[in-house]
Structure formats: C-alpha cells, structure tokens
Amino acid sequence: GQNIDQPTEMTATEGAIVQINCTYQTSGFNGLFWYQQHAGEAPTFLSYNVLDGLEEKGRFSSFLSRSKGYSYLLLKELQMKDSASYLCAVMDSNYQLIWGAGTKLIIKP
C-alpha cells in the first residue's frame, strides 16, 4: 500500500529552526508537496520538489531524496504565526496525491 509518515506533533521555540520530516512509500513518484494549514483554515501551498536537492523560499526550505523516499521542511527564524499543521503529500504514478496526516507545530515564546 501507499504510505506517508510524518511526526504527529513537534514543539519549537520562537526564533529557532525546526525540521519536519516526511517519509513515503508510493506507487511511482511525480513530485512532493508541502502545505501549511492553520487551525480551522484551508491548506495553503508552500513548496514542490520533483528533483533531489534543496529548494529555498525565504524562511522555508524543502529537501527531497527520491532514493531514500524522504523529504523535510526546514523552517528558520520561527515566528508565532508559524504555529500550524504542515502537510506532506506525494503525487504517485497516476498523478493522484497521497497525503500524510500532518505535523502539528507548536511555537513557544
């Protein structure tokens, strides 16, 4: 079966750096997405990786290793507004998105 694993919850301190991991086992691979979802709101797109390596976008970076079935989202200079759930999703060979359950990130002052 297809599976996406990410930690259920993480806690970090304002101003620090946090890395949220995502491992996947899917039928084929056509890219990996990260979305941010604040409580009670809709998910919003953060990043897309289809090739190995690091993609940087401001305070957020996303890394992909296809051979290891692994990605991480790196958040730098954490702000209170970064408290949210972070969803990892992989597009399989049929262009269907397989979603992880999400990682709830709690930022403490």
Partner 1 sequence: IAGITQAPTSQILAAGRRMTLRCTQDMRHNAMYWYRQDLGLGLRLIHYSNTAGTTGKGEVPDGYSVSRANTDDFPLTLASAVPSQTSVYFCASSVEVYGELFFGEGSRLTVL
**Given the complex with partner 1, which of 18 and 89 has the nearer CB atom?**
89
Query: How far apart are CB 80 and partner 1 at their closest, in Å?
Result: 22
- Please say which residue, 48 or 60, places its beta carbon nearer to partner 1: 48
Based on CB atoms, which residue is closest to partner 1, 95 or 109? Answer: 95
Least Cβ distance, residue 53 to partner 1 (angstroms) = 19
- Interface residues with partner 1 (CB under 8 A)? 4, 30-31, 33, 35, 41-45, 48, 87, 89, 91, 95-102
Supply the DSSP string of the chain, one letter for each residue: --EEE--SEEEEETTS-EEEEEEEE-SS-S-EEEEEE-TTS--EEEEEE-SSEEEEETTEEEEEETTTTEEEEEE-S--GGG-EEEEEEEE-TTS-EEE---EEEEEE-
